[in-house]
Amino acid sequence: EKSLHHHSTHIPVSYDWPRSLVVNNHNTFKTWFTVSENKRATQLAEQVVDNPQQGLNPLIFVGESDTGKSHLLQAIGQAALLTCKQDVYTIHRDELNKIMSFDHSWSDVFAHASMLIIDDIDAAVDDEAMANILGNVIDTALNMNVHIIVSSRSMPDNWPASKLWDILRSGVRTILSQPGAGSLMSYARNLAVNKSVVLTDEQLALIVTHGEMGWRATKNSLTKVENAINNGVELLDNSDVYNFLNDIQSESVTAETIRASESVEDVADRLIKSVVDVVYSEQQLGGIEFNTTLPELSDDYEVPELLTDQLIRSDTEFIESQIQSKLDNITPVAPSVIDVNDRDKHLVAKMTRIVQRDHAKAAEILTDLDMGIDEQFSQSNYQIASETDVLVKLEAKLLKLAERTAGASVEGLIEIADELRSLEHDLITAGANKLDTDQGNNHELDSYVPSNDWNIDDSEIAPEDLVAESSIMIPIEGVLEPHPEGVIRTATLTPVTNITSGEEE
């Protein structure tokens, strides 16, 4: 066993600075929440804890504010205290200037140290002298196998040239991104479960989106809601949570506050007046007030007839209307293509009413919908008017043909038949154009399936097999041109069997 006076024995030297990390339960891995934005950084941190001073040295966590850099650095330091017997030193950004006035030997400081943690080290990169001294300190720690863990808001490649830049640009880097809405929802749900607070996904979405979205804001908002629930505040729906987070006093709370300031005599007087003067009814909103003067009873006064059947009928109709409204509310609605999937409903904040800041947005959306609907209606009206004109013209031609039919000869009937075919062709053409417009490029051949065997191996078929022996291939020369008179229509001639004398066939 070595003696304390042996020349190779290092006697621990204590200094006021840098501070040695002590064990506490603040910012540990127990309170760290792993999501996709910090998964890679968490894996590297766990590897450092499992194998300290054996790689990933130096390790640099890069990320903006409120991404969890400081929490992860403290969690690594607390875990290292439990696994290593040596000291873990920490330096914060507001303590970096002390390095300029440190007169002791850094070799003595790191003689019994296992890890050095520096938070927001990029605060020193603009000061060239401080950056060079800090780079020499880190170089000394690396040579003594001290694990260096630092955080920064920017990549070392973007720093000015210095000793610190030269040391850390060769380190292991990992980026922590800002958490998204889905990650914050998972984090809020985990906090609510740990705090035994029952909240719906819509209420958690309001908590996550309240104020600036981030880890700290989500935790603070959830803690505020937890405190309200523990103090007896009723948060029944999304509107209650929204009003509470934004410090909006509801009408019921305001009424309770006014009643609490009333005296006992005022409360008694108000209750007596409400009971005596008003009879509340579900059919008459606001109650029924008895302010009329009672008539004076005379000898000829007759008691009005009580219409029992009418009262029973009105009560029955009222009950049926109430039942029908309840059934309408519980009747399932067919799903729509714009419905949110069940697994994504927690990302949508549902409000029972539109808040003040969304009035303009709602008005703009409704205006666009109104204009689009009006445009569609105008197009439909124009199309209906066009088709109506075509049908009216065809109807007029048919009526004229019907008038000509009465006294027409055989040649006239043939002409009428040709005109009827022409009208039929126009009618079919108009219907076909409408069908093509509605169906686009859909054709019957797109969905044609042959009835016989059609899965034929083409390797066993030669081109000669496809030509019949009796067929004659006649090449077509030139380009086919349309007939100059347009569409040629044929007429059917029916022979007359009985011919009267003097009439030619």
User: CATH number, domain at 59?
Assistant: 3.40.50.300
In terms of domains, do 160 and 224 share one?
no
Q: Lowest mean pLDDT of 287-296, 340-349, 478-487, name the range.
A: 478-487
Residue 152 is assigned to a structural domain of this protein: yes
Question: How much is the pLDDT for 321?
Answer: 81
Q: Does 310 score more than 70 pLDDT? A: yes
Residue 59 in domain: yes
Q: Is the residue at 347 inside a domain? A: no
User: Domain total for the chain?
Assistant: 3
**What is the maximum span of the chain, computed from C-alpha positions, in angstroms?**
156
Question: Which of 248, 277, 304 is at the close of a domain?
Answer: 248
**Contact 380/373 with Cβ under 8 angstroms?**
no
Query: Are 188 and 169 contained in the same domain?
Result: no
Count Cβ atoms within 10 A of the Cβ of residue 189 and give its class: 0-12 exposed, 13-18 middle, 19 or more buried. middle
What pLDDT score was predicted for residue 504? 47
The least confident of 167-171, 378-382, 490-494 is: 490-494
Judgement on whether residues 44 and 141 belong to the same structural domain of the protein: yes
Given this model, what pLDDT does residue 176 score?
A: 92
**Do 172 and 188 share a domain, yes or no?**
no
pLDDT at residue number 353 = 60
Specify whether 151 is located in the same domain as 112: yes
Look up residue 37 and give its amino acid. Answer: E
Judge if 34 and 122 occupy the same domain. yes
Same domain, 137 and 201: no
Specify whether 199 is located in the same domain as 68. Answer: no
Residue 503 has pLDDT above 60, yes or no: no
pLDDT digits (tens, 9 = 90+) for 435-468: 555 555 454 445 555 555 556 666 666 666 665 5
In a domain, 391, yes or no: no
Q: What is the per-residue pLDDT for 496?
A: 55
Which of the 8 DSSP states describes residue 34?
A: -
Report the percentage of the chain scoring pLDDT > 70.
67
* Domain containing residue 420: 397-428
Cβ atoms of residues 87 and 14 within 8 Å: no
CA distance 20 to 33: 26
Is the pLDDT confidence value at 111 over 80? yes
Which of residues 208, 229, 248 is at a domain's end?
248
Pairing of strands 87-91, 19-20: antiparallel
369 in a structural domain: no
Instruction: Specify the pLDDT at position 479.
Output: 44
| Same domain flag for 136 and 217 | no
**Is there a single domain that holds both residue 148 and residue 240?**
no
Domain identity same for 206 and 146: no
Q: What is the pLDDT of residue 423?
A: 81
163 and 126 both lie in a single domain: yes
Does residue 233 form part of some domain? yes
Kindly state whether residue 491 falls inside one of the protein's structural domains: no
Q: Is the peptide bond before 335 cis (omega within 30 degrees of 0)?
A: no
Residue where a domain stops, chosen among 201, 216, 248: 248
What whole-number percentage of the chain has pLDDT above 90?
19
Q: Note whether residue 338 is domain-resident.
A: no
Bridge-based pairing of strands 172-176 and 59-63 is: parallel
- What pLDDT score was predicted for residue 463? 63
pLDDT > 70? residue 322: yes
